[in-house]
Structures are given as structure tokens and as C-alpha cells.
Amino acid sequence: MKAFKEESLEKREWTPAGLLELSGSYWSTCALHAAVKLDVFTFLADATMAADELATELDCDSRALVMLLNAMAALGLLEKQGEEFTDTPFAAKFLSRDSHGYLGHIIMHHHHLVSGWSRLDEAVKSGKPVRERVSHEEVESSRESFLMGMFNLANLLAPKIVPQIDLTGRRRLIDVGGGPGTYAIYFAKQNPELDAVICDLPTTRSFAERTVAHFDLSDRIGFIAVDLEKEGLPEGFDVAWLSHVLHGIGPETCATILKNAVTALEPGGLILIQEFILDDSRVAPVFPALFSLNMLLGTPEGQAYSEGELIDMLKDAGATDVHRLPIELPNGAGIIAGIVPQNH
């Protein structure tokens, strides 16, 4: 079975220059991470400052900071006028902590993953993770970057996805592994008669409740603490939404969670799975193929799954009319839907 939107089947034409550019691309990545971590873009969103002035504000070495600022200007994220710097409009919108479009949380989540990626060879040799599971991370800053990073990403996509999914007549949605509850929020906003419950680890509660309250939906969206890998789910729902939950676990645990999700639904209920989806060759699209390695680094059994695997999993869990929705998403993502039969 082929993915809904395949990448070109033509192989990249590699050159030594292109190979070396790929090998050294982490320089730009690490420079961006440093600028975000130091909050450079927040200070320069509404101000034009010289490096030594900003260095005082950030408690940085002025010689070193001007090198970083020059690099950000070279990348097109800062504007330089004489010896002074300011954000580009794009950076002010997405990299300033004061902006509603701020993406710094997901960038800092990527930063926390860098050390693990540098040990990929160890993970490939052992077949075991080399870092803690991010969703179970005990360090508050890392967990916040992960959860609010998921909010960053979902906040970009949910407004485009949710209007394309018809939930007319449905009243109760369970957001399985919903993290900060971004999709529950947008489904509730799109469907005024819909209430929702976010089910995730206890450590997620404060982030979810704070995010839901920010959207003034605390009266319609609740939270139930559940360890999805060890516990069942509450029942009585007519929609189940699982966004990027399955890639963190192995096939057997996926089967258990999907059966629990189907059991949580009333007959005729709709189950929706969003994942980074490989085609059945497992070599395309590129992002899910690389994402599998990210799961190798941080989980015992996680991986990206193919469209055929996800469809079979959902059928085995008891769903019928299982199919991929015709919704185009970035990074090889897609949504698989199924219906709980009336004799369930």
C-alpha cells in the first residue's frame, strides 16, 4: 500500500560538496539553538541594539555574542545596520518569546535531542536507547520543552486539520496521549457541542490544564491521568483522537492501546490516528525514515510505522472502514480513520 503523498522516486544526485554540506549542517542548527536558548530574538524583537549592549543584558561575552549575532544575520534571522542588530519580521513572529507564534519550545526540544543523536552509532550497535524517554523525562525544563514544543507544532497544524474532519453530531472526544491538549482545544472550538477529555501521564496535567484555561475551555475539556501502556481508558466516547502516540512504542503495546481506544468508544464511534507514515518500502518519505532513528535513540521499541501496518493494527483492534484521510500534511504525516462497528 502506498502513502497518500509520495516523495519523488528519483534518487538525489550526490556530489562531494553536497555531502559535506549535509555533514556540517549541524553548525547552523547549533547556532540557532544557542540564540534561542539565550533569548536573543526576544530582546531584539522590538529593539535595535549593538552587541556590547545586548551582551550586558544577556550576561554574555561581547566578542563571542557578536559572532553569534553575525551568524544569525548571515542565516537571515537578524538584520544588521552598521554595528547594531534587530530581528527580521519572521524572527520576531516565531522566535520572540513574547509572540503568540513562538516556536522556541520545540527548538529547545530539538536542542535536548542533540546529545543523543551524537551517539546514534551506540544505539545501532546495541539496539537500545541512549537517552531517557522524553515523555517520561524527570527534568522539568526538558519535559516543558517537549510538551510545549508539541503545542508549538500542533498549534500550527491543528487549525488546518480540524476543519477537514467532520464531527457533526458527535458529543464526546477522548484525546489519547494528548499532552497539552492542543487538538482537543481545536476540535472543541470547531464543534461547539463537543466536550473532550485529555488522557495522559500525571506529569502532563499542569501543562494541559494551563493550556486549556488559556483558551477559556476548562468547562468543556477535562483531564484524566492515565499511563497508556499500563492502564485502560475511560469509556463512553464517540470520537478517539491519537496524535503521534504510537511511534513511541512497539507493535504489541500499540495493539493494546488501540484496543483500549476502540473499547472507549460507543458503537459507531470514530477513531483517528495521526502519525508520520512510511510507505511499505520503508525508505520514503525521508522524514519518517529519519524519525525512526529518533525513536531508536530514546525509546525501547518505538519506530515510525508504514501505512499498511497502521491500517492492519486498527483493523485488528476491531475497527471497520479503515482508510487514510485525503489530508496533505508536512513531514510525511497522515491520518488513518476507522469506525467502531454497531455490534461492538
Residues 322 and 306: beta-carbon distance below 8 Å: no
Helices (H), the chain: 16-23, 26-37, 40-43, 51-58, 62-74, 89-94, 104-117, 120-126, 140-161, 182-190, 205-214, 251-263, 286-298, 307-316
Please report, for the chain, how many H helices and E strands are present, in that order.
14, 11
Distance from C-alpha of 276 to C-alpha of 310, rounded to nearest angstrom: 11
Q: Which one of 33, 100, 247, 323 is the catalytic residue?
A: 247
Active site residue 100: no
Nearest CA to 154 among 189, 180, 190? 180
List, in order, residues 6 or more apart from 62 with CB less than 8 Å away. Answer: 51, 52, 55
With 0-12 / 13-18 / 19 or more C-beta atoms within 10 angstroms meaning exposed / middle / buried, residue 36 is buried
Contact between residue 239 and residue 339 where contact means Cβ atoms under 8 Å apart: no
Q: Are strands 172-176 and 195-200 parallel, antiparallel or unpaired?
A: parallel
Let me know: does 232 contact 306? Beta carbons within 8 Å. no
- Report how far Cα 236 is from the mean position of its chain's Cα atoms: 28
**Residues tagged active-site:** 247
